[in-house]
């Protein structure tokens, strides 16, 4: 398989040289949400977003900050538009029709790094990046309202050609994305909610369970030396710190109103 210039293969699951983010646009007030829990405040979201980008940069990574896209209210959640692996990137096809146009807006940024190792998911397949967890040993994909078996079959073929194993699992009923309920801590260790872990999908991994009542803390990211998590979940922060991880907390109140969390805000590679 081809390696892109400057990429490392030491541990593709949490060592990253780069991230891509996109600035929130005023149209975020029209973003998708399962339930209306209030209007997202753009200024607060911009401050939180800046803190998130600063945390990524603080690890030494290069962060490509794309401009806001007023025409796509959910475009700040860049993770859903692509899967980035050391061998190549795959443009997703979001299951939410209002989000499908975000992919063409992301393609040039990825092409700049991946050149001709850029692949894509085609209709009638659908996948959103929030349903994919790349661990040290496999690509785990959760079926959801946004990700269908046809999309997963296409992805399995692509990543299989790159030497990865793909395993398909279920996302609990009523949970937006598979990763809404989990995050990778290192190649072998996953932070997960009890309701997701109960399905057995992480059997064989080391699992840290999010304390009850703090389910919204599960969607953390491991980015180089840091675990970046939503602020305000004291018991989860303590659990991670005690397990030896360096934790950075970012206010997530505004993204949470749109069912978004830490992983959604970046593509990492
Ligand atoms: C949506 O419903 O698509 C957005 N409001 C939230 C997307 C969150 N993305 C993610 O969890 N990867």
Note the ipTM here: 0.98
Cis peptide before 124 (omega within 30 of 0): yes
Residue 2: the pLDDT is 45
Percent of the chain whose pLDDT exceeds 90: 95
What atom of ligand 1 comes closest to residue 129's alpha carbon? 12
Q: Is 263 in the pocket of ligand 1 (CB under 6 A)?
A: yes
Residue 4: the pLDDT is 46
Residue 11: the pLDDT is 54
Q: Work out the pLDDT band at 12, boundaries 50, 70, 90.
A: low
CA nearest ligand 1 atom 1, residue: 32
Residue 265 clears pLDDT 50, i.e. is over it? yes
pLDDT in tens, 88-110: 999 999 999 999 999 999 999 99
Residue 3 clears pLDDT 80, i.e. is over it? no
The Cβ of residue 251 has, within 10 Å, a number of other Cβ atoms equal to 17
Dist. CA 207–CA 199, nearest whole Å: 13
Best of 28, 40, 264 for a ligand 1 pocket test (most atoms within 8 Å of beta carbon): 264
Residue 199 clears pLDDT 60, i.e. is over it? yes
Dist. CA 81–CA 55, nearest whole Å: 22
pTM above 0.90, yes or no: yes
Q: Work out the pLDDT band at 208, boundaries 50, 70, 90.
A: very high
Residue 210 clears pLDDT 90, i.e. is over it? yes
Residue 7 clears pLDDT 50, i.e. is over it? no
Residue 206: the pLDDT is 98
Dist. CA 137–CA 162, nearest whole Å: 13
Q: How many CA atoms lie within 13 A of 133 on its CB side?
A: 34
What atom of ligand 1 comes closest to residue 261's alpha carbon? 11
Residues with catalytic roles: 177, 264
Dist. CA 136–CA 117, nearest whole Å: 21
Q: Work out the pLDDT band at 45, boundaries 50, 70, 90.
A: very high
Q: Is 77 in the pocket of ligand 1 (CB under 6 A)?
A: yes
């Amino acid at each position: 398989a081809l390696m892109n210039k400057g990429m490392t293969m030491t541990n593709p699951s949490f060592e990253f040289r780069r991230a891509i983010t996109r600035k929130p646009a005023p149209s975020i007030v029209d973003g998708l949400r399962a339930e209306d829990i209030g209007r997202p405040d753009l200024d607060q979201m911009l401050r939180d977003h800046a803190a998130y980008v600063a945390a990524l940069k603080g690890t030494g990574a290069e962060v490509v900050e794309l401009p806001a896209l007023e025409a796509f209210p959910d475009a700040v959640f860049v993770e859903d538009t692509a899967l980035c692996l050391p061998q190549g990137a795959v443009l997703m096809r979001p299951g939410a029709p209002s989000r499908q146009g975000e992919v063409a807006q992301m393609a040039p940024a990825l092409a700049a790094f991946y050149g001709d190792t850029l692949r894509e998911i085609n209709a009638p397949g659908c996948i959103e990046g929030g349903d994919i967890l790349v661990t040290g040993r496999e690509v785990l994909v959760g079926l959801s309202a946004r990700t269908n078996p046809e999309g997963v079959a296409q992805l399995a073929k692509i990543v299989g050609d790159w030497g990865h194993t793909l395993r398909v699992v279920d996302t609990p009923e009523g949970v937006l994305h598979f990763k809404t309920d989990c995050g990778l801590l290192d190649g072998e260790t996953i932070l997960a909610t009890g309701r997701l872990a109960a399905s057995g999908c992480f059997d064989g991994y080391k699992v840290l369970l999010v304390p009850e009542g703090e389910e919204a803390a599960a969607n953390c990211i491991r980015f180089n030396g840091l675990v970046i998590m939503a602020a305000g979940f004291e018991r989860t922060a303590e659990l991670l710190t005690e397990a030896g991880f360096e934790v950075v907390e970012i206010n997530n109140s505004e993204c949470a109103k749109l069912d978004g969390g830490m992983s959604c805000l970046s593509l990492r590679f």
